[in-house]
Chain A
Amino acid sequence: MTSTTHLRLLTTFEHSQDANQQVVSLANDEDPLTLKDNIETIERIELNFPHFTDGRAYSQAYLLRRRLGFKGDLRARGDVLIDQLVQMERTGFSSAVLKEGVDPSDAQRQFERFLAFYQSDVVTETPVLHRRALEPLK
Chain B
Amino acid sequence: MYQYTEFDRAFVRSRAAQFRDQIERWQSGKLSEDDFRPLRLQNGWYVQRHAPMLRVAVPYGELSSAQLRVLARVAREYDEPEAEAYRLASEAQRKLGTVHLPTHYAHFTTRTNVQFNWISLSKAADVMDLLASVNMHGIQTSGNCIRNISCDERAGVAPDEVTDPRPFAEIMRQWTTLHPEFAFLPRKFKIAMTGATEDRAATDWHDVGLHLLRNDTGELGFRVSVGGGMGRTPVIGTVMREFLPWNQIMNYIEAVVRVYNQFGRRDNKYKARIKILVKAEGQRYIDEVEDEFRQIVEHDGGPHTIPQAELDRVSASFLPPALPKRLDHATSADALAKLKAQAALHPQFERWLQRNVALHKDPSLRIVTLSFKRLLQAPGDASADQLDLVAGLSDRFSAGEARVTHTQNLALPWVHADDLFPLWEAARDAGLASANVHLLTDMIACPGGDFCALANARSIPVAEAVTQLYQDLDELNDIGEIDLHISGCINSCGHHHSGHIGILGVDKDGKEWYQVTLGGSDGSATSGAAQAGKVIGPSFSAHEVSEVIDAVLSTYLSIRQSIGSRQERFIETVRRVGLDPFKSAANDVRKSEERVA
Q: Which residues of A contact B184 (CB under 8 A)?
A: 52-55, 58
Q: Is the CB of B7 within 8 A of A119?
A: no
Known: A59-B258, A66-B300. Contact between A129 and B310, CB under 8 A? Answer: yes
Q: Which residues of B contact A52 (CB under 8 A)?
A: 35, 38, 184
Q: Is A36 at the interface (CB under 8 A from chain B)? A: no
| Least CB distance, A35 to chain B, in whole angstroms | 15
Q: Which residues of A contact B218 (CB under 8 A)?
A: none
Q: Which residues of A contact B5 (CB under 8 A)?
A: 132, 137
**CB within 8 Å of B: which residues of A?**
52-56, 58-60, 62, 66-67, 81, 83-84, 86-88, 90-91, 103, 106, 109-110, 113-121, 125-130, 132-134, 137-138
Give B167-194 interface residues, CB cut-off 8 Å to A: 171, 174-175, 177-185
Interface of B is mostly: helix
The 6 closest A-B pairs by CB, nearest first: A55-B184, A133-B310, A90-B180, A133-B309, A118-B174, A120-B303
Q: Is the CB of B7 within 8 A of A109?
A: no
Determine the distance from Cα of A134 to Cα of B310 in the docked complex, in whole angstroms.
8
Other than the known A55-B184, A126-B303, A137-B5, what 19 A-B pairs have Cβ atoms closer than 8 Å? A54-B266, A55-B181, A56-B262, A58-B183, A62-B181, A66-B299, A66-B300, A67-B300, A106-B30, A113-B17, A114-B11, A115-B10, A121-B180, A127-B175, A129-B174, A129-B306, A130-B307, A132-B313, A133-B309
Q: Which residues of A contact B7 (CB under 8 A)?
A: 116, 128, 132
Known: A120-B303, A125-B303, A129-B174. Contact between A109 and B180, CB under 8 A? Answer: no
| Least CB distance, B226 to chain A, in whole angstroms | 17
Q: Which residue of A lies closest to B258 (CB)?
A: A59
Determine the distance from Cα of A132 to Cα of B171 in the docked complex, in whole angstroms.
12
**CB within 8 Å of A: which residues of B?**
5-7, 10-11, 14, 17-18, 21-22, 25, 30, 35, 38-39, 144, 171, 174-175, 177-185, 258, 261-262, 266, 295, 299-300, 303-304, 306-307, 309-310, 312-313
Give 19 pairs: A residue, B residue, CB < 8 Å, sorted on A: A52-B38, A53-B144, A55-B181, A55-B184, A59-B262, A67-B299, A87-B181, A103-B30, A106-B30, A109-B21, A113-B21, A117-B178, A117-B180, A119-B175, A119-B304, A125-B303, A130-B310, A133-B307, A133-B313
Q: Is the CB of A58 within 8 A of B6?
A: no
Q: Which residue of A lies closest to B3 (CB)?
A: A137
| Least CB distance, B33 to chain A, in whole angstroms | 14
| Least CB distance, A136 to chain B, in whole angstroms | 10
Partner of A59, one of B11, B261, B313: B261
Q: Which residues of B contact A121 (CB under 8 A)?
A: 180-181
Q: Is the CB of A114 within 8 A of B14?
A: yes
A-B contact count (CB 8 A): 110
Q: Is the CB of B180 within 8 A of A129?
A: no
Q: Is the CB of B310 within 8 A of A132?
A: yes
Q: Which residue of B lies closest to A121 (CB)?
A: B180
Determine the distance from Cα of A59 to Cα of B261 in the docked complex, in whole angstroms.
7
Determine the distance from Cα of A66 to Cα of B177 in the docked complex, in whole angstroms.
21
Q: Is the CB of A81 within 8 A of B35?
A: yes
Q: Which residues of A contact B30 (CB under 8 A)?
A: 103, 106
Q: Which residue of B lies closest to A61 (CB)?
A: B181
Q: Is the CB of A67 within 8 A of B17?
A: no
| Least CB distance, B408 to chain A, in whole angstroms | 30
Q: Which residue of A lies closest to B174 (CB)?
A: A118
Determine the distance from Cα of A63 to Cα of B225 in the docked complex, in whole angstroms.
25
Q: Which residue of B lies closest to A122 (CB)?
A: B180
Q: Which residues of B contact A81 (CB under 8 A)?
A: 35
Q: Which residues of A contact B261 (CB under 8 A)?
A: 55-56, 58-59
Q: Which residues of A contact B309 (CB under 8 A)?
A: 133-134
